[in-house]
Copies of this chain bind each other. A is one copy, B any other.
Amino acid sequence: MKLIKFYFALFVLCVTSIFMTTQKKTKILFFGDSITEAGVGPQGFITKIGQKLKNQHADANYELTGAGIGGNKVYDLYLRMSEDVLSKKPDVVVIWVGVNDVWHKTSSGTGTDADKFQRFYEAIIKKFQAENIKVYLVTPAAIGERTDNSNQQDGDLNLYSKIIRKLAVDFNCGLIDLRKEFIQYDLQNNPENKESGILTTDRVHLNEKGNDFVAQKMMEALMPANK
């Protein structure tokens, strides 16, 4: 009888260990511009997601990778998606792009037309889904944090966010609507109607509060237990 118990315990142990070693981590890749590039820094939102997962003893389940490059627009993502995403065989890709497509229109005359923004974005989604990657789309959060719709690019950011929201519906992607979240947060936390300093350092890039906020919103979407 003891022997039976022993063998049973041994069996359970084996199964568990096999299961643990063979259990595949979910590979999440963050694909974007300078905001995502900074996300893997010591205070970046990707680093913060990793820390929170550790605190929840869930870090064994996920592998997080950043693939952000400063100045990238949607067509830059398209150009490097094979090398920087598909070759890494992720399970999940979080696409966060759009700020430069809008911003560069006036800062260097090299932004992206709305129709072409949509076309390239769609081509990326199709390519990822063809590889059975789960795709999450993120709307461009902010170029300026004023809450009365008087940031220069507000109209355009809203337009490009609408395009992204529609793509999420049409292609059955996850949506992390940071544009909406930032506007809501700023409405409640920016009573002086400042241009930056609430969630961003410089109207665009995340300060520490911003990185926390984004990490939280992304976990709610990517790891729904955090909702």
Shortest distance from the beta carbon of A101 to any chain B beta carbon, whole Å: 9
Q: Residues of A with Cβ closer than 8 Å to B?
A: 75-76, 78-79, 104-113, 116, 119-120, 123, 144, 148-159, 162
* A152-B148 in contact (CB<8A): no
- List 10 A–B pairs whose Cβ atoms lie within 8 Å, in order of A's numbering: A75-B116, A78-B79, A105-B108, A105-B109, A107-B107, A149-B149, A150-B162, A151-B159, A152-B156, A152-B159
* A148-B158 in contact (CB<8A): yes
Q: Say whether chain A's binding surface is mostly helix, strand, loop, or mixed.
A: helix
* A76-B158 in contact (CB<8A): no
- A154 CB contacts on chain B under 8 angstroms: 149, 154-155, 158
Cβ 8 A contact of A155, one of B108, B111, B113, B155: B155
* B79-A123 in contact (CB<8A): yes
- A153 CB contacts on chain B under 8 angstroms: 155
Complex CA–CA separation, A106 to B104 (angstroms): 9
- A111 CB contacts on chain B under 8 angstroms: 109-110
Contact A152 to B155, CB < 8 A, known contacts A105-B109, A106-B109: yes
